[in-house]
């Protein structure tokens, strides 16, 4: 009996303990709900949507094939970084100096043809014939807007502001840099360095914004002094906003009656040393871009990092011409095979004449 009474006695307090425990749980839940967490961005995948292009051919839209890489994006990328743009322009200029002129191909057309090939990996020339069916001229067609038709001998000129123009079948010569994924279009040879070019440009943009912002990436204004008037707080906010950009060198006066020394604190949330990474990022990405374009830095007027300099520039120019420029010109001679006329004729690079 005593055991049963003990069980009953032990059993009676349970609802109280349960209620007490529930109250603790509510308090815990309330304290947890008052905590807010956030993240500074989504995780960046190692691969991206462009990898889907590795698994398919160029899409067809009923008239022509869509390029595997957006030409508009490549055109925007061209201006993203100086060491991405400058090697392409340098190659174009030197190759132009190594091409003999021809009556069928004007200098402006051949220059634009070379430029498109280096930027887009595709270049197009339209053959214009006279009334007798003889070749009259070769006219450049912008690679940014030229598309290859489902009939591979048919090409289209496509823009957002005009009707699609169909070239005469068989009238367009297409020079392309071979792709390992499809045979319809070419792809530029610098694809592997696109991330470095974008990082280089973004580092420059960050540095510029950092300077405009008053040489800091942002601060936390920590105010502990009691300010009864909300208008005073709004005035303080406005004064801090005006201290950015052109007002970065202005002084700020704050008066808080009865305030403490540390009642108003400005806490930078990025270290001052972070801006010093700018030089490192620029140097690393510059090397990536020069390696991808395979252009010796000294030929573009670059300054050496060491005291010894770059060495004999004529020897460098000779190696560059033989290993890089002449193979591109030999590839351009596919136009001669297509047309049956020797339009592309090479002459030696002035700095690299072979003895």
Q: How far is it, in rounded angstroms, from Cα 325 to Cα 285?
A: 23
Together in a domain, 185 and 303:
yes
- Is 352 found in the same domain as 259? no
The answer on 155 and 303 residing in a single domain is yes
- Residue 264 and residue 298 in one domain: no
Total domains in the chain come to 2
Q: What are 349's strand-pairing partners?
A: none
In 10 A of CB 244, how many CB atoms? Answer: 14
Q: Which domain holds residue 247?
A: 219-269
DSSP states along 42-62: PPPPSS-GGGGGGGS---B-S
Q: H helices of the chain, where?
A: 2-11, 14-33, 71-78, 82-97, 107-120, 194-212, 230-242, 277-293, 313-320, 326-332, 334-339
Q: pLDDT tens per residue, the chain (355 residues)?
A: 444 444 445 555 555 554 455 555 445 444 444 445 445 555 545 445 555 555 556 788 888 999 999 999 999 999 888 899 999 999 999 999 999 999 999 999 999 999 999 999 999 999 999 999 899 999 999 999 999 999 999 999 999 888 999 999 999 999 999 998 889 999 999 998 989 999 888 888 877 877 776 666 566 777 776 765 677 777 777 777 776 555 455 566 666 666 677 777 766 655 555 555 778 888 899 889 999 999 988 888 777 666 556 677 888 888 999 999 999 999 999 999 999 999 999 998 888 765 5
In a domain, 276, yes or no: no
Residue-level pLDDT at 46? 46
Instruction: Name every residue whose Cβ is closer than 8 Å to that of residue 196 and which is 6 or more positions away in sequence.
Output: 284, 285, 288, 289, 292
pLDDT score of 233: 73
Amino acid 2: pLDDT? 46
- In this structure, are 179 and 67 located in the same domain? yes
- Rounded CA-CA distance 91/319 in Å is 14
pLDDT value of position 214: 62
225 within domain boundaries = yes
Residue 163 inside a domain? The answer is: yes
Q: Quick check: is 29 in a domain?
A: no
What residues contact 219, with CB distance under 8 A and at least 6 apart?
Answer: 266, 267, 268, 269
Kindly state whether residue 300 falls inside one of the protein's structural domains: yes
For the segment 166-207, what is each residue's pLDDT rounded down to a tens digit? 999 999 999 999 998 889 999 999 998 989 999 888 888 877
Going from the C-alpha of 6 to that of each of 3, 12, 13, 15, 19, the distances in angstroms are 5, 10, 12, 16, 22
Question: What is the end-to-end Cα distance of the chain in Å, rounded?
Answer: 120
Do residues 182 and 70 share a domain?
Answer: yes
* Tokens 């009259």 found at: 136
Predicted pLDDT at 30:
45
pLDDT at 51: 56
Together in a domain, 259 and 310: no
Query: Per the domain annotation, does 19 fall within a domain?
Result: no
Shared domain for 160 and 309, answered yes or no, is: yes
Same domain, residue pair 184 and 327: yes
CA dist 16 and 38 (Å) reads 38
d(C-alpha 235, C-alpha 243), whole Å: 12
Comparing CA positions, the residue from 58, 201, 178, 194 lying closest to residue 117 is: 178
Question: Are 180 and 243 part of one and the same domain?
Answer: no
Please return the burial class of 214, using the count of CB atoms within 10 Å of its CB with bins 0-12, 13-18 and 19+: middle
Asked whether residue 132 is domain-assigned, the answer is yes
Residue 134 belongs to some domain of the structure = yes
Do 177 and 325 belong together in one domain? yes
pLDDT of 42 reads 54
Are residue 260 and residue 317 in the same domain, yes or no? no
In the sheet where 146-148 sits, what is the strand order? 146-148, 155-157, 165-166
């Amino acid at each position: 009996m005593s055991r049963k009474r003990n069980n009953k006695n032990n059993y009676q307090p349970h609802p109280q303990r349960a209620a007490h425990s529930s109250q603790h749980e509510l308090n815990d839940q309330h304290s947890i709900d008052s905590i807010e967490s956030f993240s500074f961005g989504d995780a960046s995948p190692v691969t991206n949507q462009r990898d889907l292009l590795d698994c398919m051919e160029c899409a067809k839209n009923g008239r022509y094939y869509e390029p595997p890489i957006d030409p508009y994006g490549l055109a925007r990328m061209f201006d993203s970084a100086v060491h991405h743009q400058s090697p392409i322009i340098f190659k174009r200029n030197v190759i132009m100096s190594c091409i003999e002129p021809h009556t069928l191909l004007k200098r402006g057309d051949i220059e634009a043809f070379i430029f498109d090939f280096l930027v887009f990996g595709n270049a197009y020339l339209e053959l214009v014939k006279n009334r007798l069916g003889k070749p009259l001229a070769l006219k450049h067609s912008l690679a940014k807007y030229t598309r290859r038709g489902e009939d591979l001998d048919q090409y289209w000129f496509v823009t957002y502001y005009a009707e699609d123009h169909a070239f005469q079948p068989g009238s367009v010569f297409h020079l392309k840099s071979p792709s390992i994924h499809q045979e319809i279009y070419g792809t530029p040879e610098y694809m592997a360095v696109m991330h470095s070019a974008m990082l280089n440009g973004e580092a420059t943009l960050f540095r510029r914004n950092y300077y405009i912002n008053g040489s800091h990436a942002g601060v936390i204004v920590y105010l502990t002094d009691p300010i009864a008037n909300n208008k005073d707080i709004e005035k303080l906010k406005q004064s801090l906003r005006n201290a950015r950009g052109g007002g970065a060198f202005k002084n700020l006066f704050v008066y808080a009656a009865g305030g403490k020394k540390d009642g108003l604190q400005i806490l930078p949330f990025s270290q001052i040393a972070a801006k010093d990474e700018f030089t490192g990022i620029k140097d690393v990405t510059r090397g990536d871009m020069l390696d991808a374009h395979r252009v010796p830095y000294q030929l573009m007027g670059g300054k050496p990092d060491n005291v010894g300099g770059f060495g004999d520039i004529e020897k460098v120019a000779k190696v560059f011409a033989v290993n890089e420029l002449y193979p591109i010109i030999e590839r351009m001679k596919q136009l001669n095979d297509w047309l049956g006329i020797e339009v592309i004729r090479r002459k030696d690079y002035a700095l690299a004449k072979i003895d």
